[in-house]
Amino acid sequence: MVAPSRHIARFTSTLVLVCLMLTACAGAATPAPSWPADAIVVTAKDRQFDTKELQIKGDSSSTLVLINKDSDPHNIAIRTRSGFDGDVLFRFDPVSASTVVLPLGTLPKGNWFFLCEVHPAMSGTVFVY
């Protein structure tokens, strides 16, 4: 028969061990992405963007969020002309089935164009005001 004090000691050490394991697991988990309330959020699903027009404040740097729900890779490139013409104002490499949060920087005011470089039919206009 184990003395009650040894019982408590064993229970306490087991509890400490479980807590340490839980802490280690929580630390290893990838945190859910978060973004500012005024971020430009675009969702890609079934090879379509959920918007054809992005309205972006030109005076301050803003944040772009792409939520890609497809296993297909998608990205967003902002260019001064439609398709692959004109200058690139912003782009990032395509991602699959994930959410990316990126600083847009300060874009020049004007009417621009965006597209997915993998699926150019996924496109729209950008209004920087």
Q: Which is nearer to Cu ion, 79 or 119 (CB)?
A: 119
Q: Would you say 69 and 44 are in contact if contact means Cβ atoms under 8 Å apart?
A: yes
From residue 57 to residue 76, the character string flagging contacts with Cu ion as x (rule: CB under 5 A) and all else as - is -----------------x--
d(CA 112, CA 52): 12
Nearer to Cu ion, 57 or 67 (CB): 67
Decide if residue 100 touches Cu ion (CB under 5 A).
no
**Does 118 help bind Cu ion (rule: CB under 5 A)?**
yes
Contact indicator for 60, 38 with CB cutoff of 8 Å: no
Touching Cu ion, residues 73-92 (CB under 5 A): 74
Please select the residue that binds Cu ion; options are 56, 119, 126, 128, rule is CB under 5 A: 119
Q: Are strands 40-45 and 62-68 parallel, antiparallel or unpaired?
A: parallel
Distance CA 87, CA 74 (A): 20
